Structure 1
Amino acid sequence: MTVDLTGYKVAISAGANGIGKVMADSFAYCGATVFVSDVDTKALETCGHAGMRADAGDPAQCEAFIDAAVKHLGGLDVLVNNAGIAGPTALVEHVTPEELDATLRIDVGSMFHMSRRAIPALRANGGGAIVNLSSAAGRFGFALRAPYAAAKWGVIGFTKSLSIELGPDGIRVNAILPGPVDGPRIRAVIKAKAEAASISENEMTERTVATTSLKCFVTQQDIANMALYLASPFGGTISGQAISVDADMQNTM
């Protein structure tokens, strides 16, 4: 199966680093033209894609990114809402109001503001796709990760609601729920959880992998592959779904 996205115009938030960059590279490989945002200026300069600096926690910058993407691309076929932060790793009583606000504002708020701004362009295009990045935390509860889990459950609610609103316009909206994706973010969370549990990082890594039936981490490319599928004609009748890519995660710690 070959995914041909020649001529597609794709905007990806937080697309200069990590999963976002792998997605941007993958869309470009399949023929799409990509425009990315990121808060990391140096990464933007070296990522190989057109883009602009935008803070996902600032609604005005979220909207400015979409405006710039539509102008640069000459329209919009696909929006990938990838921006997010891990938030604090702590008991609820130790989480500050500022930490909670930042997690919800970036992980859910940025998707709302970018989608809201992108809808007219997608509608003018005759349809399209929005792909939102949620998490396995969007279907499980995670001790010490309440703000993040709350945000990722919120992403799913937003996705399902938006899909109903936009279905008549031919705009499909889906969420991807990654499990433990190997990379700097999960390593930082593992380190924090290991410290909180007074165990080694190796032991916490083993516990994390043990939550999956396949006994492995997910790769960034796994997530990119699902995004490609959902954005492509192969996913043409898929909308309103929360799709797990998590090595069959069955339980949490």
Structure 2
Amino acid sequence: MRKETLQPSVFWILATIVLPAVNLAVRYRVTDARKLPQTGAFVLSPNHFSEIDPIVVGALAWKLGRAPRFMAKASVFKIPVLGWLLRKSGQIPVERGGVARGNEPVKAARRLVERGQMVIVYPEGSLTRDPELWPMRGKTGAVRIALEQGIPIVPIAHWGTQDLMPRYSKRISPFPRKTIHVKIGDPLSFDEFKGRGLDTATLNEATAILMDAITGLLEDLRGEKAPAKRWNPSEHDQKETGRFEG
């Protein structure tokens, strides 16, 4: 089957704009690139600790032969030219607070399966707040899409993006050229959850498996162990505001 990136699409325009800048600023060192499926629909779930992560991961996906699609804030689709490019390239609008316009993520996920496409979903939902940049507690969106549509999730971890753009920074440091280390994990099919209802307990259990897989990949890249307990933003927020109980 012909590589997705060789098929004419608006992605060619985006690649022409983005890739030259990425290539100047970044070199990739990828482990287990063969584990990224070259055909069929799946969810790609990376760790997240820099505002520039989507560009770095999107460019990597393109280099590995897959067209990157993300769930993006609905507000950016209203920006002239950019909004047109986002819509034409199949990006998925999500309203602030996670409420999807017209249940678009569900519809988009169905289209992904029908067309054999991939979508990139950050399971943490935002930049990690762990002080040492380890993955924090995940949200269930990525797992819900995979379980509802019967498609696998491919965990992926990267390290080095913080040198290009530190967490919470608005400033990019492209020179000298940065090395981004990437490791791709085995696809997770979640066969053990098939036939179970998608209740909160099931989604949380499956999400924990996904976060463990991403954390394990990052441990390999960093050559160190993550904390035994994953950072939980809600617990720390409660402690800071004096509302934590138990």
TM-score by length of 1: 0.40
More contact order relative to length (CA 8 Å, sep ≥ 6): 2
Question: Going by fraction, where is helix more abundant, 1 or 2?
Answer: 1
TM-score by length of 2: 0.41
